[in-house]
Structure formats: C-alpha cells, structure tokens
A and B are shown apart, each in its own frame.
Chain A
Amino acid sequence: MLQNIFFGLSLGAVYSLIAVGFALVFNILKFSNFSHGGVMSFTAYAGYLAYILLFDGKITGVTMFVAVVLVAALVGAVTAVGIERVGFRRLRRNQAPVIYYFISSITLGILLENIITIFASSNFYSYPVFFSSSNIQIFGTSFSIADFVTLLFSCVALGLLLFVLYRTKLGLGVRTVSFDVNTASLMGIDADRVVMATFAMSGALGGISGVFLGMNYSLYPQLGQLVVKGFIASVIGGLGNITGAVIGAFLLGIVEVGLIGMVGSGLMPACVFVVMLVFLLVRPQGIAGKIVQEKA
C-alpha cells in the first residue's frame, strides 16, 4: 500500500513536470502546446546520446544521472526556443487566431518525432541504468531508488521554477505578459524575450521529464506522446494554472496506480480518459479554476 502510494507520487512527479511545462506556455500564449511531446522525445534521445558519446565509462551513478539530466534540460530549452522561433513567432507578429498556434504545435511535434525516426529508427533502446541497487529499505518497506530520485528531482525543478516565477524580475515579466501582452509591451517589456524565456523554461522541464520517461518506458520516437498525461493533468488542474497542474498531475499519478490495482493496466487508460471527460463536461475550469478566476 505504502509502496503503491509512493509509486503514484513518483509517477505524479513526472506528470507534473510535463503538465507544468505545458501550462507555462498555455499561460502566456493561451494554447495547448503539443510540440512539447516532440521536445520530450528529442531530449530523451539527447540524454541517451550524451550518455553513450560523452559520459559512458567516465562517470557513474548519481553523477552520471545528474549530467544526463542537465544535458537533456539544456537541449530541451534550446529546442523549445527554436520551436518558438520557427513555429510561433510569426503567428504572434500577425496576431493569428489561437487555432493556428495549436495546429503549428501539433505539426512541429510530429515533425520532431519523424526526424528522430529518420536518424534513430523506430527501434526501442533501453536507457542506461543509473542506480546499481534498485531498492532501498525505509521503515521495513522497500522503495525503488529510481522512483525516489524522480520524486526528489521533480520537486527541486518545480521549486526552482516557482522561485523564478514568483521571486524574480523575469517571473514578474512572465506573469505580466500572460495577463496582457499589449499593455506589457507599452510598459517597456520586451514580450519576445519573455516568451522566449518561457519556452526555455518549458523546454528545460520537458527535457528533465524526457529523461524520466526514458528511464521508465525505454526509448522510442513516440515516447513524447505521453505529453497527453500532462495535458490530462492540466485539464484536471485547470489549464494554464501552474499550481493546478501540479495538483492535477499528482492526483493523476495516484489515481492511475490505484486503477491498475483495481481494474488492471489494460483498462486503466480508458478510465483515466473518462475521468478527464467528466472534468471537461462538469468542471471545465479544473480543480483550481476558482482560484484562477480570482487571480485573473
């Protein structure tokens, strides 16, 4: 039982990274950025390549894990910024309707997957094993070290993000632009740079989640389609709301683990989508919807 809850939390932590990366962009440009999935696939491969080409045999264990995560985060940030330049900046200049962003993001996501398939084939690769002993004993129950590290790293990344958003000038810029781009520009804020920084943060989170996904599910080009989990968490939590996304993601993780126990892993995804449908129909503003209303 305790083990399951812990597994749920760790799963929720990965989902929350995805959901927050997703919510950051939604917050500022008001569309669901499905290219985030492409970024996650891409960074998962980048982390794997970094391991093979740079780190293999030189460093081990936690050091290597940290190095791979950092490379993936960096690649994610750069990729997301590139995606913004290619796919969205022109749309913003032309003040295009939101649906164009949406289509552009799906296109770019699929494009990234296909590029990966060209260079890496559609084979499955198994991610390096970072931690030699797979379990630790706490209070007589054994916990997986990978889950433990996942949870720890996700929380650190989220904490860092919240710090930037609420305690720095950059964060203030992001929040300002998300309320009203036009007025923000008239107050001298360079909206292009703020949007770029937002994509960089979103991409870095996508990179970290990419590595975790690779560790959990092995590596394949469509790995990033797990972005749907982040999307579901965002909908449950309230689209565009960072706190809501985190809450939604942890709930989703625990519910999924619970459902596997109750209905089995085959039926679980269907049940999750039913839950999401119910949320869309009954409470489209999500769990945190009320709070967003008050803030906005």
Chain B
Amino acid sequence: MNAITTTSCGLLEVSSLSKSFGGVRAVCDFSFNAQPGEIVGIIGPNGAGKTTAFNLVTGVYAPDKGSVKLDGVELSGLRQDVIARAGIGRTFQNIRLFKGLTVLENVMTASDPYAPYGFFSAILALPGKRKADREAADKAREYLNMVGLGGMEDARPESLPYGLQRKLELARALAIRPKVILLDEPAAGLNPSEVRDFIELVRRLHERFNFTIVFIEHRMEVVMNLSHKLFVLSFGKLLASGDPETVRRNPEVIEAYIGEEE
C-alpha cells in the first residue's frame, strides 16, 4: 500500500473520448481529468453518457476514439481485468455483487489480484499458500470493517439491506488497491440518513487512502459536499466544468440539468 502515498499516483487523464452505438453518439469528444487525490464529480441528465464514460475508462467498451491515461500510462484498448489491476476500481449503478458468494468472499474475489492462480499450488495446498490465503481473508475483513460491515462476513449479499450492499461494493472496490476509484451513482436508492452516512464514509476512506475519486451522482447533497471539481455531461458532450459553485451557477447547466431536477 506504500505506492499510494506518492504524489505521482492516481493522475487520471481522459481526452476526447468518443463512442457510438449504431447511430447513437453516446459519448462524443469527452475530456476530463482528475489530479492525484482529487474528488471529481460527473453530473448530467439521464442518458447523457455518464455510465458509458465509466465503461470506456474501465475497458467494458473500447472507445472509438480518445485516450485514457493513468499516471501517464495509456490504458484504452486494454482488457478490463488489466485495467482493473492497473489501479482503477469501480462500483456500479445497479449493484453487481456476486450473489452466490458470501460477503467475505465477495471482497476476496477482488483482493490482491497480483497473487497468481497457481493450479498445482492450489491442489497441493502448500503451507506458504495457506498462510497467503489466511492473510487474504484478514485483509478482506479489514476492508469490511472500514466500510462498517464487520461481523457480516458470512452473510449472503442479497440478504443485506440496500445501503449495506452499496457499502459492500465499495469494500470490494477497495480490495483491488485502486489508485483511482470510480463510483457510479453511489447514493442512488439510499435514504437521507444513509446518504449523510455515505458522504462521511467516502470522506474517511479518502483521508485514509488519499486515492483519486471520480463519481457520477444525481443527488446535489453528495455532489456539493464531496467534489472538488465538476464536469457536466449532456447528450454525450461536455457542457461545463469547474469548481462546484461556478458550475452550479452556470445558466446552461441549470437549464440542462439542475433546473429540471430541483
């Protein structure tokens, strides 16, 4: 975890990202960046292409055009598991936990992707491997404690309340030791007290790991409380960017988005 503290880590530069599905331009020439340790919000009306942008950054889709650089290293065009191991973790708008696994196993799936899946060492159950397994489980427990899910290791994720499922996704994202973490509408479906709780949690994790956070969110409470910088996306294009207060007062933004929401 020592690498995370150096200042050169977690610099995300996304430039002129474009993606069309058939004739629909989902994302068009979208550029944004996040400095190391910065918390960046991406907002925009429904269907503006926000989640598509996340999918392009994480390699779910290959961009038609544009580049994604993490600490200067080009990531676009790489496989999604390679991008994840390069240090980009994420959560999902529609929670995507592994429902057949326990809470602890959900976190362990992601923990330490650097450890090889040695087939023979898996079968032989070498002593060193058993120690590594125990350490992986301990690590996963630690992440669960951080998000407040300690003591629920053996529960099934589908039996948890919605708010806790969101936290579990967060713990799983932490387990890949991300330099940049992408949160896709993390507060969707949470009640007001859960939202406040969630903002606190993100702050705490940010202080602890000092990673870069990019999040998509509709709730203004979250957006205004957390973000250092905002990018507004509308119909796949960048509409405005800047510090939250300026963006909030931008008449174009109010017309496109904030006006209709609040």
Contact = CB atoms under 8 A, between A and B. Distances in A.
Interface of A: 160, 163-164, 167-173, 175-176, 178-180, 182-191, 193-194, 197, 200, 295-296
Contacts, number: 89
Given A175-B101, A176-B109, A170 B81 contact: no
Nearest to A179: B98
Interface in B51-105: 58, 60, 79-81, 84-85, 89-90, 92, 96, 98-101, 105
Interface stretch (B112-120, B200-208, B227-235): B112-120
A189 B81 contact: yes
B158 to A, nearest CB: 10
B100 A187 contact: no
B108 interface: yes
Contacts of A182: 60, 80
Contacts of A171: 122
The 7 closest A-B pairs by CB, nearest first: A188-B113, A188-B84, A187-B110, A168-B122, A185-B80, A170-B122, A185-B81
A169 B122 contact: yes
Instruction: Give the residue among A173, A183, A186, A296 with the most B Cβ atoms within 10 A.
Output: A186
B98 A180 contact: yes
Contacts of A295: 99-100
A185 B133 CA distance: 21
A197 B123 CA distance: 12
B147 interface: no
Contacts of B119: 170, 197, 200
Contacts of B248: none
Given A169-B117, A170-B122, A183 B84 contact: no
A175 B100 contact: yes
B12 interface: no
30 contacts: A163-B125, A164-B123, A167-B125, A168-B133, A169-B108, A170-B117, A170-B119, A171-B122, A172-B101, A176-B101, A179-B98, A179-B100, A179-B101, A180-B96, A180-B98, A182-B60, A184-B98, A186-B80, A186-B81, A186-B90, A187-B89, A188-B85, A188-B176, A189-B81, A189-B109, A189-B110, A190-B81, A190-B113, A197-B119, A200-B119
